[in-house]
C-alpha cells in the first residue's frame, strides 16, 4: 500500500507480535489474581475474554493497559451493566441502584443465609436512611432462630427505630404482613423486613422466603452476602435469585480477611448491583458501595487515584502512533481493515494473543474456530479486492452501502450481496470499536475506568 498509514500499521502489527509473550504472561497473572480473590472461574474466563485488547494497539505498556482493561471490566460488572454481558445474555441495560423514595411507604425485604449479617444490616440500613430524614421501621419475620426478635429489638432500641415482632406467632409471613400493615398505618416510609436464614440453602428456607415476599410484596429485595464465603458466592446468589426477585446486594464483613471477589460473582449471578457494604459490627460501619476503590483493592492495585496516575504514566502523549491519530479522527477505512486482515493471515495459525491485533477480539477470531475464521477473513478480503480505491478509502457508510456498489462488489468476488452486507457489518462493528481508541489519545487524570 505504501502509504504512511500502512507503515504505521505495520509497526503496530510488529509490536503486537513482539508482545505476545508479555501479553500471555499478563493474562495469566490477571487470571491468577482474580481466582485468588474468589472470583468465580467462569466469570474470570469471561472477563479475560471480554477485555478490550484493541487498546494494546500501540505496543505501549501491555501490562498496565491490560490491568486497566480488567479494572474497567470488573467495575462495569459490579455496577450492574456488565453483569449481563458476563453471562453473554444479550442486551445490556444499566441497572439503577435502588434507593427508597420519600413520601411513599417503601417496603424492603432482606434475605440471606443465617449469620451473613442480615439483622445487623437491617439496622444499619434503617439508621443510614434515618439520618437522611426517612422514618424507618423494622419488622422481625425470623421465627426460626431463637432470640432473633430479641436481637432485632435490642438493635432497634439502641438506634431508636420502631420495631415489630412476636414471641408467640410462628408464621413468619403473618408477622411480616401484620408488621408492614402496622407501619404503613403509622406512616413510616421505610419498612424493613428481616427474614430468617438457615445454615444451608434448603427448600424450607426458600419456601419461607417466597411466602414472606408474597405477604408483603416488597418494593425491593436485598440479598445479604457474607464476603468470606468465597467461591460459593455465585451458586448461593443464584439460588436466592431464583426464589425471590433479588434486586440489590449488600456484602458484609469486608473488614475481615475476606477478599471480596465472591461479591463480583454474586453480582454477576443476580445481575443486581451492590448497594452497601458492611465493614464492621457497629451500626456506623456501613458504606454506600463504590465499585472503583473496591476493585482497586481486589486487584491489589492499592489506591484508586494512584492507579490512574500509573496508567497515565504509561501512555506518553508524544508516543501516539500515527494510526491512533487517524483512528481518533474517525478514519478507519476498508483499506485499514484489509491491511489488518492481511496481518492476521501472515501470522498463520492463530493463537489467542495473535488475534489481539487491534479490534480483533474473540468475535472475529473465536478460539477453537480458527479455521472458520480464516475462511471468513479470506472471503472478506476477496470482496475488498473487488472494491475501488474510492470505496477502500472512504469513511462514508452511505457510499459503501449503495445497493448498486454492493451488488458490483459481490459480483466481482463471486459472492452474494448478503456476503457484502456481512462484510460491511463487520467493518461497522470494528469502526465503532476503533472509535473507542480515541480515549488513548490524551490520557487525563480521572479519565480512565469510566468507560
Whether the Cβ atoms of residue 239 and residue 264 lie closer than 8 Å to each other: no
In the complex, residue closest to ligand GDP by CB = 278
Instruction: Outline where 98-256 has alpha helix (H).
Output: 118-131, 148-158, 172-185, 203-216, 233-243
Cβ 225 vs Cβ 249: under 8 Å: yes
Calpha distance 181→221 (Å, rounded)? 18
Nearest CB to ligand GDP, comparing residues 42 and 279: 279
x/- letters, 296..335, toward ligand GDP (CB under 6 A): ----------------------------------------
Count other C-beta atoms under 10 Å from residue 368's C-beta: 8
Cβ proximity of 231 and 260 under 8 Å: no
118 binds ligand GDP (CB under 6 A): yes
Q: Which of 16, 236, 252, 340 binds ligand GDP (CB under 6 A)?
A: 252
Q: Could you say whether residue 253 binds ligand GDP (CB under 6 A)?
A: yes
Q: Measured in whole angstroms, how far is the alpha carbon of residue 9 from the centre of its chain?
A: 32
- Residue of closest CB approach to Mg ion: 119
Q: Which does 290 bind (CB under 5 to 8 A by kind): ligand GDP, Mg ion, none?
A: none
Binding residues with ligand GDP: total (CB under 6 A): 17
Q: Which of residues 138-197 bind ligand GDP (CB under 6 A)?
A: 197
Report how far residue 118's alpha carbon sits from residue 115's, in angstroms, rounded to the nearest whole number: 7
13 binds, among ligand GDP, Mg ion, none (CB under 5 to 8 A by kind): none
CB 190 within 8 Å of CB 108? yes
Single out the residue of 61, 72, 84, 119 in contact with Mg ion (rule: CB under 5 A). 119
Stretch that binds ligand GDP, among 198-206, 209-217, 248-256, 342-350 (CB under 6 A): 248-256
Tell me, residue by residue from 198 to 237, as one string, x for binding to ligand GDP by CB under 6 A and - for no binding: ----------------------------------------
Q: Which residues pair with 139 in a beta bridge?
A: 164, 193
C-alpha cell, 16? 503486537
Q: Which is nearer to Mg ion, 117 or 321 (CB)?
A: 117
DSSP assignment, residue 377? H
Residues that bind ligand GDP (CB under 6 A): 112, 114-120, 197, 252-253, 255-256, 278-281
Amino acid at each position: 500500500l505504501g502509504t504512511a498509514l500502512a507503515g504505521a500499521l505495520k509497526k503496530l502489527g510488529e509490536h503486537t507480535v513482539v508482545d505476545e509473550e508479555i501479553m500471555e504472561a499478563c493474562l495469566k497473572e490477571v487470571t491468577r489474581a482474580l481466582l485468588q480473590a474468589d472470583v468465580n472461574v467462569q466469570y474470570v474466563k469471561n472477563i479475560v475474554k471480554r477485555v478490550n485488547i484493541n487498546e494494546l494497539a500501540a505496543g505501549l505498556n501491555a501490562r498496565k493497559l491490560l490491568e486497566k482493561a480488567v479494572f474497567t471490566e470488573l467495575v462495569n460488572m459490579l455496577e450492574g451493566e456488565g453483569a449481563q454481558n458476563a453471562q453473554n445474555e444479550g442486551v445490556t441495560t444499566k441497572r439503577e441502584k435502588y434507593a427508597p423514595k420519600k413520601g411513599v411507604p417503601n417496603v424492603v425485604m432482606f434475605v440471606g443465609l443465617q449469620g451473613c449479617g442480615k439483622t445487623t444490616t437491617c439496622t444499619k440500613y434503617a439508621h443510614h436512611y434515618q439520618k437522611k430524614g426517612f422514618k424507618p421501621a423494622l419488622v422481625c419475620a425470623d421465627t426460626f432462630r431463637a432470640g432473633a426478635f430479641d436481637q432485632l429489638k435490642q438493635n432497634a432500641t439502641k438506634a431508636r427505630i420502631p420495631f415489630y415482632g412476636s414471641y408467640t406467632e410462628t408464621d413468619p409471613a403473618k408477622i411480616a404482613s401484620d408488621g408492614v400493615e402496622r407501619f404503613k398505618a403509622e406512616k413510616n416510609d421505610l419498612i424493613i423486613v428481616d427474614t430468617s436464614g438457615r445454615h444451608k440453602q434448603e427448600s424450607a428456607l426458600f419456601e419461607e422466603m417466597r411466602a414472606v415476599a408474597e405477604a408483603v410484596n416488597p418494593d425491593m429485595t436485598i440479598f445479604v452476602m457474607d464476603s468470606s464465603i468465597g467461591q460459593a458466592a455465585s451458586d448461593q446468589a443464584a439460588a436466592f435469585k431464583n426464589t425471590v426477585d433479588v434486586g440489590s446486594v449488600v456484602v458484609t464483613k469486608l473488614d475481615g480477611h475476606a477478599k471480596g471477589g465472591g461479591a463480583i460473582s454474586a453480582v454477576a449471578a443476580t445481575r443486581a448491583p451492590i448497594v452497601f457494604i458492611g465493614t464492621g459490627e457497629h451500626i456506623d460501619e456501613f458504606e454506600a458501595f463504590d465499585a472503583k476503590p473496591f476493585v482497586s483493592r481486589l486487584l491489589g492495585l492499592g489506591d484508586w487515584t494512584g492507579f490512574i496516575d500509573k496508567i497515565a504514566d504509561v501512555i506518553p502523549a508524544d508516543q501516539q502512533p500515527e494510526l491512533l491519530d487517524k483512528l481518533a479522527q474517525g478514519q478507519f477505512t476498508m483499506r485499514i481493515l484489509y491491511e489488518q486482515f492481511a496481518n492476521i493471515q501472515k501470522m498463520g495459525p492463530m493463537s489467542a494473543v495473535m488475534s489481539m491485533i487491534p479490534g480483533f477480539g474473540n468475535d472475529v477470531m473465536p478460539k477453537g474456530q480458527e479455521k472458520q475464521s480464516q475462511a471468513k477473513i479470506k472471503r472478506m478480503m476477496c470482496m475488498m479486492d473487488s472494491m475501488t480505491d474510492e470505496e477502500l478509502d472512504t469513511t462514508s457508510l452511505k457510499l459503501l452501502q449503495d445497493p448498486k456498489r454492493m451488488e458490483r462488489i459481490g459480483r466481482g468476488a463471486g459472492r452474494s450481496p448478503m456476503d457484502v452486507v456481512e462484510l460491511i457489518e463487520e467493518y461497522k462493528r470494528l469502526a465503532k470499536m476503533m472509535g473507542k481508541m480515541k480515549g488513548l489519545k490524551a490520557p487525563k487524570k480521572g479519565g480512565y475506568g469510566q468507560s
